[in-house]
């Protein structure tokens, strides 16, 4: 009976390859954003979009966070783990060669051979040489494992990018909150001086019979409210400093952030098409890569039902006793091929196939969620951006009006047509409007940062 050659066996098995599961389809996205920005002078955001704020201190903080942040370090370590797993899966496609050496102490039993009786015998068999084994990837099961590992490694890299983007946006957010609190604290200090002057003026007017207790109480309550607001701003500044310290992995007391004059940078948002924006989001790309890897795992699990072919070989020296190593007949070799076909495993393979299919379903749901979450985040961020721009324009107009009222009342005071208390009230209203404009300006910058983050930049 002739043996079936290994190549003919491989060809025969290949004809029985299972049908692969259908490839997942990308989720559908709209053609345009509903909340499309309408800047008069749109300009594309740079790759490091936070540099649009033209703040060297912010740039240094983001750079430091991207180097030292613990979450960034963890994400980078996960990439290395995934790449190592990918290298291990790819190594399964190559033969393994090992050096072999050992000594076996054997006892041969009594036997009769060729009409001659042999007594029991103790012997020592030393051996040394090389061995190899190689599994022929008949239907691509090992290649599917390498493909799945490559997808997992790609997903880990996209997740690292997502963490870096998130950390950069969190640094910008905390920094803007800190500068916002500093600006409010500074203006609240000026407002407190005005309020205390007004309270003192009203007390003098009350003593002269020109005012009443209600006006005095209102003025004194205004002083207390402004002091409370300033304390709140100081507390928010320290909280923002603590968040920044955490993001850059440094103690808060070693974080040097000199005060700086608040700037109002020129900001413009021009989002690209939804398909481009969603395709650029690293969280969406990571979810897609994990979905592809899960689909490949189903194929790999199915291929466990089919035969495996392993080639083995040995070459070296072996003898009865160490004195025989130098003999010419001590050199030997062995080459073999072995096949294995599962016949009954109690349902183990089917269980692995079902588990892989369930993972694929979970990954598909996660991918769809990532896509629709990205779309929702961009739409929401664009709405917030437009709202912040409109609010800033409105409050800037209100501030200009309050300042005009205070200027006219100051002129009237010089002409003796009003009293100082009324001028102080208008100056307080103008300073309150200025604080509102400062808040609106920082909200616009926060909205700009949120748009860039939502767009995957």
Q: What is the pLDDT of residues 11-33, one digit of tens each?
A: 444 445 566 666 666 767 776 77
Dist. CA 273–CA 259, nearest whole Å: 39
Q: Exposed, middle or buried by CB within 10 Å (0-12, 13-18, 19+), for 54?
A: exposed
Greatest mean pLDDT among 69-78, 104-113, 263-272 lies in 69-78
Q: What's the residue count for the chain?
A: 457
pLDDT greater at residue 320 or residue 283: 283
Angle at alpha carbon of residue 176, lines to 171 and 182, rounded to 5°? 130
Say if residues 46 and 54 touch (Cβ distance below 8 Å): no
Give me 128's structure tokens: 């040394």
Say if residues 58 and 169 touch (Cβ distance below 8 Å): no
Give me 321's structure tokens: 């006793």
Closest Cα to residue 178, out of 258, 86, 253, 107? 258
Confidence at residue 20, expressed as pLDDT on a 0 to 100 scale: 63
Give me 430's structure tokens: 């103008």
Dist. CA 197–CA 424, nearest whole Å: 8
pTM of the model: 0.83
| Residue carrying the six token digits 């800190």 | 178
Query: 48-102 pLDDT, tens per residue?
Result: 899 988 889 999 999 999 999 999 999 999 999 999 999 999 999 999 999 988 8
Query: 395-440 pLDDT, tens per residue?
Result: 999 999 988 988 888 888 777 777 788 888 888 899 999 999 999 9
Strand boundaries in 110-194, DSSP class E: 111-113, 116-118, 121-136
Strands 121-136 and 111-113: unpaired
Q: Residue 159: CB partners within 8 Å, gap ≥ 6?
A: 75, 78, 282, 283, 286
Give the 3-state secondary structure of residue 324.
helix
Dist. CA 57–CA 44, nearest whole Å: 23
Say if residues 133 and 95 touch (Cβ distance below 8 Å): yes
Give the 3-state secondary structure of residue 118.
strand
């Amino acid at each position: 009976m002739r043996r079936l050659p290994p190549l003919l066996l491989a060809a025969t098995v290949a004809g029985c390859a299972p049908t692969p599961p259908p490839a997942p389809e990308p989720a559908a996205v709209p053609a345009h954003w509903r909340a499309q920005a309408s800047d008069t002078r749109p300009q594309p955001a740079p790759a490091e979009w936070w540099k649009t704020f033209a703040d060297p201190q912010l740039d240094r903080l983001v750079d430091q966070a991207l180097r030292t942040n613990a979450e960034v370090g963890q994400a980078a370590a996960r990439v290395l783990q995934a790449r190592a797993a990918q290298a291990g899966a790819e190594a399964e496609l190559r033969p393994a060669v090992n050096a072999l050496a050992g000594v076996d102490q054997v006892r041969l039993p009594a036997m009769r051979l060729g009409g001659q009786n042999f007594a029991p015998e103790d012997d020592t068999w030393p051996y040394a040489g090389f061995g190899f084994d190689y599994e022929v990837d008949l239907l691509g099961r090992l290649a599917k494992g390498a493909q799945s590992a490559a997808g997992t490694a790609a997903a880990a890299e996209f997740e690292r990018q997502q963490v870096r983007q998130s950390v950069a946006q969190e640094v910008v957010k905390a920094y803007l909150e800190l500068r916002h609190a500093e600006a409010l604290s500074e203006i609240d200090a000026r407002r407190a001086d005005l309020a205390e002057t007004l309270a003192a003026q009203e007390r003098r007017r009350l003593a002269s019979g020109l005012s009443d207790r209600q006006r005095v109480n209102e003025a004194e309550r205004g002083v207390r409210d402004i002091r409370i607001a300033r304390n709140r701003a100081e507390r928010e500044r320290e909280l923002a400093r603590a968040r920044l310290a955490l993001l850059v992995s440094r103690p808060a007391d070693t974080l040097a952030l000199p005060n700086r004059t608040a700037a109002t940078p020129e900001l413009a948002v021009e989002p690209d098409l939804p398909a481009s924006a969603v395709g650029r989001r690293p969280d969406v790309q990571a979810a897609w890569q994990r979905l592809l890897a899960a689909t490949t795992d189903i194929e790999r699990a199915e291929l466990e039902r089919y035969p495996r072919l392993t080639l083995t070989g040995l070459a070296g020296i072996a003898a009865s006793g160490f004195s025989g190593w130098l003999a010419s007949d001590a050199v030997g070799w062995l080459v073999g091929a072995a096949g294995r076909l599962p016949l009954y495993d109690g349902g183990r393979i089917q269980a692995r196939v079902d588990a892989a299919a369930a993972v694929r379903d979970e990954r598909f749901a996660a991918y769809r969620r990532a896509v629709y979450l990205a779309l929702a985040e961009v739409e929401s961020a664009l709405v917030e951006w437009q709202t912040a721009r409109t609010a800033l324009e409105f409050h800037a107009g209100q501030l200009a009006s309050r300042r005009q009222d205070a200027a006219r009342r100051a002129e009237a005071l010089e002409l003796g047509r009003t009293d100082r208390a009324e001028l102080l009230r208008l100056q307080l209203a103008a300073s309150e409007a200025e604080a509102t404009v400062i808040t609106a300006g920082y909200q616009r910058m926060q909205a700009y940062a949120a748009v860039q983050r939502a767009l995957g930049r």
